[in-house]
Amino acid sequence: MPVETVALVRNTLKGPLVLSSDPKGTHMVEWAGAGDPMGDDVQPVPPEILNTVPFYRQIQRGILVVEDLEGNEELKAVLDRQNSAWKARTTAADESAAAAIDEQANNDLVSVPCVGPADAGTGRCGADVAVRDSKKDEAPPLCNRHEGLADQYVAEELGVVDGKTQKGWARVTIGEREKAQV
């Protein structure tokens, strides 16, 4: 009569044991050797393997033993060790994956208009300049034509919007009065 449920089965051999439901390995169970510290010498076995001749022979020879979980504290401890080992592996894998992720906050490239002088002499150039979002307030955004003018610009506060201070760049100029004194 075929078995319909999964059974917990212990390997009594000192070495590992593998059983498959068919030559293709459609259903397979692998046990560690008897007394495995992680408890992998006890495995759940599906009906597809329980109902095979090789499984029956291993039971008959005493190599495999079907365990009853009811009232079996040793078996419960084995299952607890398996769960603890699984949790430790998944935690280690999660930590390893998290450590491999290079999180650089706010390191996006943004496009800002060039603050250099326009060709017509009035206004600003306005050409797009790519800068790192985290560093956009560290230096004036100047295109290739105007990058030599960086020392002529100073940062200025434009006001507060949504609780954040808005910054801009102003070109330092010498007025008529200062020119006369030079």
Q: Is 89 helix (H, G, I), strand (E, B) or coil?
A: helix
- Average per-residue pLDDT for the chain: 84
Where do the DSSP E strands lie in the chain? 7-11, 17-20, 28-31, 42-45, 64-67, 109-113, 128-132, 153-161, 164-171
* pLDDT number for residue 1: 47
Mean pLDDT confidence for 89-118? 82
Confidence of residue 76 (pLDDT cuts 50, 70, 90): confident
- Where do the structural domains in the chain lie, given as residue ranges? 7-94, 109-181
pLDDT attached to residue 56: 93
pLDDT range class, residue 105, cuts 50, 70, 90: low
Look at 15-24, 45-54, 88-97, 131-140 and tell me which has the smallest mean pLDDT.
Answer: 131-140
DSSP one-letter code for 151: G
pLDDT at 64 over 90: yes
For residue 157, the tally of other CB atoms under 10 A from its CB is 9
pLDDT value at position 4? 66
pLDDT, tens digit (0-9, with 9 covering 90-100), for 130-164: 888 878 888 898 899 888 888 888 888 888 888 88
Compute the Cα dihedral for 160, 162, 165, 169 and give only its sign.
Answer: negative
Element (H, E) at 74: helix 73-100
